[in-house]
Amino acid sequence: MIIEAAAQVLLERDYAASSTNRIAERAGVSVGSVYQYFDNKAEIYEAALDDYFEQLVTQLNSIKIDTETSNIALSEAIIVAAYRYWPDGPAFLRKLRQVPDAHFHEKLQQTKAQIANFVRYTLMQRNEVFTVQDFDLSLKILIDAIEGIFINATADITPERLAREMSLLLNRYLMGNVSNLDP
């Protein structure tokens, strides 16, 4: 409840303008209750970040992988799952970058490594031919690129459209000719 309230407050304001009082008010609890669980607002936002990343990885791991599904459709399913989990995710992550003590970049790297492992495992199960020389480096570059696109996504781009474009990027980069990738 406190974590969800913190996310809502952060989305409405920037980090400096948010406070434990505002978070407590939004959560419908006393400030003392907030301080029973957290020492300060940075700790609350760190917990919100942890929760977001944990739920994101759980969402990705719940995707059913079918070997008959095209690479484009599979990539789109992964990206839509990440985006649909929380449509405000891009704005939330942009705002969390303002949190000075949240270890944002370290946690982001850990989560991206989990996502890369998931994508690596998923693609390797499909017995595809990749045109890149160093698959792991290429996958890291793609995850970084997709992160940048995701964080900068605007609300006017639907999750499906964003997923389609990002999956084309991923597949074209890893496999070159995408004529065999269409659903």
Domain ranges of the chain: 42-175
The tens digit of pLDDT for each residue in 133-181 reads: 888 898 888 888 888 888 887 778 887 888 888 888 888 888 775 554 4
Q: Do 2 and 34 form a contact (C-beta atoms < 8 A)?
A: yes
Torsion, Cα 146 147 153 159, to 10 degrees, reads 60
Does 183 have pLDDT greater than 60?
no
Reported pTM: 0.75
Q: Do 104 and 97 form a contact (C-beta atoms < 8 A)?
A: yes
From the candidate CATH numbers 1.10.260, 1.10.357, 2.20.25, 1.10.8, the one assigned to the domain spanning 42-175: 1.10.357
The tens digit of pLDDT for each residue in 63-107 reads: 877 777 777 788 888 777 777 667 777 888 888 878 876 677 788
